[in-house]
Structure 1
Amino acid sequence: MMRRYVGILLLLFSLLQADNWELTKESDGVAVYTRNVEGSPFLAFKGVTVVEGSVDALVAILYDTPAAPAWLHQCRLAMTLEEVRFEENYVFQIYDLPFPVSDRQLILRSTLFFTENGVRVEMHEANTFCDEQQSDRCQKAKASDLIPIKRSRGHYLFIPQDEKRTKVIWQHHIEPGGSIPGWLANALVVDVPYNSLSDLRTLVKEEKYRSMTIEKLQRLWQKQYKAFH
């Protein structure tokens, strides 16, 4: 009985620790929280905001891969490598980092889930995806030859608040790989979610996203898939 009681206490403690976020910055409707990650020198972040746009419009932005540099902080290039299915894609990205740090590259596996509360998009680094792929897009990714981001794992949550507004929660943990000064790492863990979500709030108001629905997006995706396969 005592062992069971101790086990329950340890479980409760771990759950409390898992949600131990510290508010680091809050301004203009965007809040950024950070927390330690066991075994990593880099903090995880959670950005939270409410946008004037629908869940469908936000999903449309994520699926507009070439437009990522318009809102994703320090992203210079983004390219879809493979459309496995509508809910699963592989994306290649290049990030500009301030001097004297070298730029970084990343391959992400992105998976979309429809939930009772909205949409969840999971992201996980998949830097070996192109190792045995011979597609033109993978060849372009290999040609960049930049330092790969070692770890990039997180998710977006899009939760409708009413007919016109959606709550966005972006939680992520990144290990950039290579050598990076501590001051820059600490700055990026705040700047990336804050600036990205600030620009996302502006971009989602554009007509091409506001008029988009999941059904239209799926039809467009089917046309794109047929064109590349």
Structure 2
Amino acid sequence: MRKTGAHRFTGWASAVCLGLCALLLTGPSAAGTGADLPAENAEGWRLRKEADNIRVFTIDQDQSSFKAFKAEALLDAPIENLMAVMINPQSCVEWVHNCTESYAFGTGDFHDRYAYSVNDMPWPVTDRDYVLRIQTRGNRSTGEVIMDLNATPNQRAEFDTRVRVDHSDTLYRFIPEGSRTRMIWLQHTDPNGALPGWLVNSLLVDIPIRSLQALEQVAAKPRYQDFELVYDPEGRLMDVRQSGH
């Protein structure tokens, strides 16, 4: 379908997931998959914008004309609510800015699964789509949950009306702080094709800020309440489920 009109935006968040949809999130541990992401404490991060309790930084990436970004936020939502949002494969359209389609596909489990998502781009730029592998890990001792979202473009056939993003690495870190959660989102995406500089720069700042603002609101919805994190006897995160189920 071709776009019409001078400019068309939809209301990520996200991810990144998801991340564009997510672009579309801390330095990854040895078990992580975001090897191409800069470390959370790397030198060179430059603060680009602050809004409410959200700060967005960018940093140059070697062998790429696109910067990586880091967003830090203290969200007024418990980690259980936020993880309830994250395990919903359709939640991208609720919180990731400009995400218009998202669903899970293939076989997978809580720790390792696949999702497809679409990011609406302003006319006349062609929409981008993502095929993402999502890996989740956490442990009871720290309370933290980490999600890696990495582009795996060949897992699904391409559409001639969309541009497939073949390089996107995202890492989300969720750190519980009482009834609130600190979230750190690192991402580097090469959206493919020719994009104007003004659009790329606005995406790097606007997507994480608008997405995180939306995520805080979405996590307060009734359908994301009364969830709990489930751990195995060794303290490894195994699932997120509604209490009593």
Q: 1:144 to 1:218 in 2, by over 3 A?
A: farther
Q: Which amino acid aligns with 1:27?
A: A
Query: Which residue matches 2:19?
Result: none
Query: Which residue matches 1:156?
Result: 172
Query: Which residue matches 1:136?
Result: none
RMSD: 2.4
- Higher helix fraction (1 or 2): 1
Q: Which amino acid aligns with 1:129?
A: Q
Q: Is the 8 A contact 1:54 1:210 kept in 2?
A: no
Pick one of 52, 68, 80 that aligns with 1:56. 80
Q: Is the 8 A contact 1:75 1:93 kept in 2?
A: yes
Query: Which residue matches 1:120?
Result: 146
Q: What is the 5 A alignment of 1:67-106?
A: 67-106=91-130
1:163-206 CA-partner distances (Å, limit 9, x unpaired): x1110111100110111111101110111111111101111111
Give the % identical residues: 28
Query: Which residue matches 2:31?
Result: none
1:59-83 CA-partner distances (Å, limit 9, x unpaired): 1111112121111011000010124
Distance between the aligned counterparts of 2:176 and 2:241, measured in 1?
Answer: 23
- Secondary structure of 1:42's partner? coil
Distance between the aligned counterparts of 1:182 and 1:169, measured in 2?
Answer: 25
Equivalent pairs, count? 197
Query: Which residue matches 2:155?
Result: 129
Q: Is the 8 A contact 2:79 2:176 kept in 1?
A: yes
Q: 1:167 to 1:16 in 2, by over 3 A?
A: closer
Q: Which amino acid aligns with 2:168?
A: S
Q: Is the 8 A contact 1:20 1:35 kept in 2?
A: yes
Structure 1: which 5+ runs fail to align?
1-13, 132-141, 224-229
Q: 1:98 to 1:145 in 2, by over 3 A?
A: closer
TM-score under structure 1 normalisation? Answer: 0.79
1:42-63 CA-partner distances (Å, limit 9, x unpaired): 1111111111222221111111
Question: Could you say which structure has the larger radius of gyration?
Answer: 1
Q: Which amino acid aligns with 2:138?
A: F
Query: Which residue matches 2:188?
Result: 173
Q: 1:167 to 1:83 in 2, by over 3 A?
A: farther
Structure 2: which 5+ runs fail to align?
1-37, 231-237
Q: 1:15 to 1:176 in 2, by over 3 A?
A: closer
Query: Which residue matches 1:200?
Result: 215
TM-score under structure 2 normalisation? Answer: 0.74
Shift of 1:27: 1.1
- Secondary structure of 1:73's partner? coil
Shift of 1:86: 1.5
Distance between the aligned counterparts of 1:17 and 1:198, measured in 2?
Answer: 24
